[in-house]
Amino acid sequence: MLTRERVIEILKEAGVLQEGHFLLTSGRHSDKYMQCAKIFQDAKYSEELCRDLAEQFADDDIQLVIGPAIGAIQMSYEVSRHLGVKNIFAERENGAMTLRRGFTIEPGQRVLVVEDVVTTGGSVREVIDIVKEQGGVVAGVGVVVDRTNGQIDFGVKLKSVISMEVISYEADECPLCKQNLPLVKPGSRKIC
């Protein structure tokens, strides 16, 4: 199992964990931003993190790994490779998460749902519903980064490579604004 220090080191090296003053999608401000897709730019990072996650489910008789598109497509593959099982992904069609491309889940099949980062768990819950609708058994949920610090409950075994709380503030209460630190909206230039 990876140490917390090693995971933080990987996240920083891969450019996933960014520190500064960020405007989040919610409109709140934070001193940290997680761009988990960057994990999968370099196989040396994704291999190490996904191996760690797969090892946490090694005794759970996983038969299939599934993740929501787009963020967990590569992750689903990499975790399944370490477990020696098949993988598929769910994707949105007309706004609803669904299985396409001939993907199926067999009744009774033990399925691991994976996601790169969990904040509210909405996409994971949608994939869990798909697994159940297809007659599969949700054996667990595996995530690289649990941003709820272990507070989220999917009703099944939940394991993460790292669990942390990313603190955020209302704009008018932001201590970073009071320090006049430049505010950045991830994916863009400074906005103030």
pLDDT tens by residue, 126-147: 999 999 999 999 999 999 989 8
Q: Which of 167, 150, 170, 168 is nearest to 159 (CA)?
A: 150
Which pLDDT band holds residue 149 (cuts at 50, 70, 90)?
A: confident
Which pLDDT band holds residue 173 (cuts at 50, 70, 90)?
A: very high
CA distance 36 to 167: 17
Task: Show the CA angle centred on residue 97, arms to residues 36 and 137, nearest 5°.
Answer: 90
Residue 190: CB atoms within 10 A of its CB come to: 10
pLDDT tens digits for 9-65? 999 999 888 889 998 877 888 898 888 889 999 999 999 999 999 999 999 999 999
| Cβ–Cβ < 8 Å for 149, 164 | yes
pLDDT of residue 187: 60
CA distance 95 to 31: 32
Q: Can you tell me the mean pLDDT for 73-78?
A: 94
User: Average model confidence (pLDDT) for the chain?
Assistant: 91
DSSP state of 88: E
Strand partners, 114: 142
Q: Which residue has tokens 């768990």?
A: 121
Q: How far is CA 92 from CA 1, 26, 84, 189, in A?
A: 33, 22, 27, 30
